[in-house]
Structure 1
Amino acid sequence: MFVPVAGGDLAVEIHDGDTPPALAIHGVSGSRKLWNWVAAHHFSLIAPDLRGRGDSFEVPGASIRQHADDMVRVLDALDLATVTVCGMSMGAYVAVDLAVRHPDRVRTLVLVDGGFPMPAHAQMTEELLSAAFAPQLAARERTWTVDEYLGVQAVVNPLIDATDPLIHEYFAHDLTADGHLRLSADTLIADATDVVFGTSRWQELTVPTWFVHAEWSTGPDSPPAYTVEQAQEFRTVLPVLREPVLINEVDHGGTVMTRAGAAVTAEVLAEALK
């Protein structure tokens, strides 16, 4: 379905399952197809393509606050007063903003490797940020077949299973029919800047919150976005935070884009939906 928001129409995919509905918000360079692995566990999910990505590619604008306001429009369009919200990476920051500014719309919250301050962000500069997203920006300058694009992504994301049909579907969704990447450069950089240099309002959360984090960041043995110790520190500050859940032997993307990671994330989401 398409939901009117400021500047255009937001694409939203509805997964019918056996649970109450949960709003699932993808990361900075992802799309709604990120949630296919979790949906496979028979969840009812509301999965938007955020503006500047996928089928919402032509909707201009960016910022954590803007995306959160869009999510309110999505809930209104579906006549949902309150739902569990699950956000991954940047989507977790959007989920936090939504829950802080609209606590009446968020029943419970699941944050997947995001939403809290990442220690690595403290070392980031605008130049380093631009360099970090240079490959995605360069990918926009050429056309791709799905297999070519998947081959490159399998190198960048060594833990994904390139033979998984859901992986194929995920990366195919990034491309137009003629092989161009459906990712707005302006939106990507603006959103990444907001995540890295903005201020998460996580300490203002009042709804029950679960936190799932990965053992690695980008591939085996890489430093994690959050250590176990850091996750526990968040819990000492935030009374509504449940015991953090570490997913072993997955990286940032693998929390939802691998069968093993998605199984753990799904288990936590199921607990939040109770």
Structure 2
Amino acid sequence: MKRFILSLILFSSFFISSPFSLAAQEQEVTLEEVVVTATRDAEEIRKIPANVTVIPRTEIERSNSQTVVDLLRTEGDVVVRDLYGHGKSASVDIRGFGETGPLNTLLLVDGRRVNEIDLSGVDWTQIPLDQIERIEIVRGSGSVLYGDNAAGGVIHIITKKPEKPLSIQADAMTGSYGLYKSGASAGGKWGPLSALLSASYQSTDGYRDNGFLRAKDVGGKFLYDLNENISLNLSGSFHQDDTGLPAALPRAIFEV
């Protein structure tokens, strides 16, 4: 499967200024966590009349998750069914819709829908975990704000945004069942302009016969800040994968 996505988004974000003291001694201030998915606007999470969970980058790094599907398994009211083990055809269900869970769970990446048009499913392998800044999960109907596929809830994945003049990262790992993952990214921020380019590769033989997966991803993001509240975002991604369809489990597994 090959997929190419290009989007141009104009959005505004509102920042909450922290209180300051006129005293000579500086005081440390903890800012309230801000989310954008529940109301399509930047709001403090404690002021939102909805069941919202935020998974920040620090928590993602502390987890043992290798994929987005693995990470979502740890969240309450989120049921994940992955028959093949590599996440490509995983079913994510919020609020107990069962078999129709994928039809009623909307996935956004930087505000863009990624649900399939035909059966409203999601190819979870197209979202590398190392490129995610945070994940916002809104439980309960979001159809009024987002339309189709949001009756159970909304999962909004927000990718990284460059903050330093220049940053280059690379990583690789291996595991059981022929697992191999590698990735690299380069990005930076120069005045109002910032850019990020990334590439990743994943390969696994799976724990079942013909359960292999080979996936390649390349992505880029360019941002230009018009002012403190408005910025232009141009992003694109390319995804290609080759996967097998595992056969039935052998009878010996079920024999005692």
Higher strand share: 2
Higher helix share: 1
Q: TM-score, length-normalised on structure 2?
A: 0.26
Q: TM-score, length-normalised on structure 1?
A: 0.25
